[in-house]
Homo-oligomer: A and B are copies of this chain.
């Protein structure tokens, strides 16, 4: 079930359409790149005006080629493309790269041309990369169409929506000296092949150990999530997404819809699918390298081993900020360390050897060994001058330091806990560090990057465990009564009334308090028998014509006694009719007032990019001002539901503060799972808001429910 992208991203033959001997042309660069790198397949320059280009026989057209070729690089202008694709089809070309710009990224005419290109490609059975792409390379095939001379083969696959970003990463890798790439593709406008397809390919590509993406915008985010969910179990997937400040534009509002489509949502959904999301562009390579080498960590408990106070303190700050923990070192470990270190060494994590290693760096390998055997330790973080001992202290330490590097590398290969190294001398590339890097062990030149990497390793470990255990809700059989309600509402071209939304929830076993709709004064007399005379009630208008009930004066709370109820009923009717004289009023919904508790919000939106998405957050200002919410794509596992509740920044509030009871987390998780299943069973639901849900020590109450129908 291999992706057909292999056919042309790892081709055995290539045609360069628009090949040229003019060094300023793109068709020259690509050819030179292939020749310089020694591409071992067949190369066919295509140019109507040349017989020979750079020593290769040239052909007048694609149709004139002497054999079927896998890949065509089209260096010609936009309007030539549809015709060329037809020729490609005739030859049997598998894939074409369209470098030209002037398509959908420019204007409506360009978008139309792009559509023609897509149709031509489909007719010709040619897959297309681009248009408006910077091209691609596959260094293990010596296929370097960008003619970049500063990249070397390695195991990082990279798909970047910006050519300059690729260039920046290539320069960074060159500077580091030890990072190489497998395949790069610039997806361009993604007219045909999109991010999800490239991820499938990188997931299958044996040269790629980590799939890395720079994304400005997805075309089909849902497809990417679906592929990522599977691929990220096989190998790490790293995404850097720009546009983090889009969220700043959101107006304050408590509707799920207004919080969707944000950077924050994209990050949550990607992480749910096991993707390692980095926040800063300069974290892409360090994190990708670390994940490629170490894959995952069993947990978040770090032993910090330092040869100087400053960096130990800083490492601790960054680790705790990143949600890591300092491991509680066991007594046994402490005793073992004590035997080899100076008395003044600090054996409380972070461990500071306090000069013990200055003249004896081999002790560091012993310490790493001891720490990595501690069951309380998930990763060992070696921080300080290692690699530079012979430079800083004494020339004669050279041999011992190199041997120490070898010992640590051996440990690194033996154990299944990551060993992460930050060295002040990382960029100096002294022999011990070169040795480590050659052995596939990253050495970081930034504490911050090392910590981000450890967080990514722990996150991926947690994802793998979550995936193993994942329990999903069983699909629901749609309830016939609910189906009829949707039909009715659709026929009346309205959304569900609140009581219908609540009935729907009840139909699927979600507990919702009893309520009544009253249609006249007479009904009011029956309320005290229905609910009890001493129960405070709430009243809300029921009308498809009134969306914002409070604004219309359509909500009255804390009503006790027939007199108060009558007055409230009259007030609601007159207020709503003066607010909207033509409003069609069905009646007034009466519900008991809910006891106080912790207000949360559960919402669903169908995101145009990512499909159905569930949102959870604390109610009121937490959603509106602080945007303290979590998103997961539907369907979600019970583990996902737990993780979204725990992700909330104000999580502590759910544990009970200021004398309040803790919220019933399991009940809330039940509710999230139920909502997920309901939304899956009812594609009619465009948007759903339970706001507020009042969480109690046992269970919860749904105070308001709103369902918007996909019309």
Contact = CB atoms under 8 A, between A and B. Distances in A.
Contacts of A620: 658
A446 B168 CA distance: 10
A311 B394 contact: no
A335 interface: no
A56 interface: no
A321 B657 contact: no
Tally of this chain's copies? 2
A163 B243 contact: no
Contacts of A316: 245
A311 B280 CA distance: 11
Given A428-B171, A448-B280, A621-B658, A164 B321 contact: no
A625 interface: yes
Nearest to A425: B171
Given A165-B311, A308-B163, A424-B168, A244 B653 contact: no
A229 B281 CA distance: 36
Contacts of A252: 652, 657
Contacts of A344: 106
Interface string A267-299: 000000000000011100000000000000000
A162 B310 contact: yes
A164 B385 contact: yes
Contacts of A653: 621, 625
A175 B243 contact: no
Interface string A372-399: 0000000000001100000010100000
A167 interface: yes
A183 B547 CA distance: 68
Given A252-B652, A317-B245, A310 B447 contact: no
A309 B427 contact: no
A242 B321 contact: no
Contacts of A181: none
A620 B281 CA distance: 38
Interface string A651-679: 01100011000000000000000000000
A307 B162 CA distance: 11
Contact of A24 (B24, B245, B394): B394
Interface in A21-63: 23-24
Contacts of A162: 308-311, 313
Nearest to A248: B320
A446 B282 contact: yes
Contact of A161 (B24, B281, B310): B310
A427 B445 CA distance: 14
A570 interface: no
A578 B242 CA distance: 62
A124 to B, nearest CB: 29
A657 to B, nearest CB: 6
B424 A164 contact: yes
B392 A244 contact: no
A680 interface: no
Contacts of A214: 310
A7 interface: no
A216 interface: yes
6 contacts: A23-B394, A163-B308, A171-B427, A242-B314, A621-B650, A624-B658
Interface of A: 23-24, 106, 160-165, 167-168, 171, 175, 214, 216, 242-245, 248, 252, 280-282, 307-311, 313-314, 316-318, 320-321, 344, 384-385, 392, 394, 424-425, 427-428, 446-448, 620-621, 624-626, 649-650, 652-653, 657-658
What are the 3 tightest A-B residue pairs by CB atom distance, in nearest-first order? A162-B310, A164-B308, A245-B320
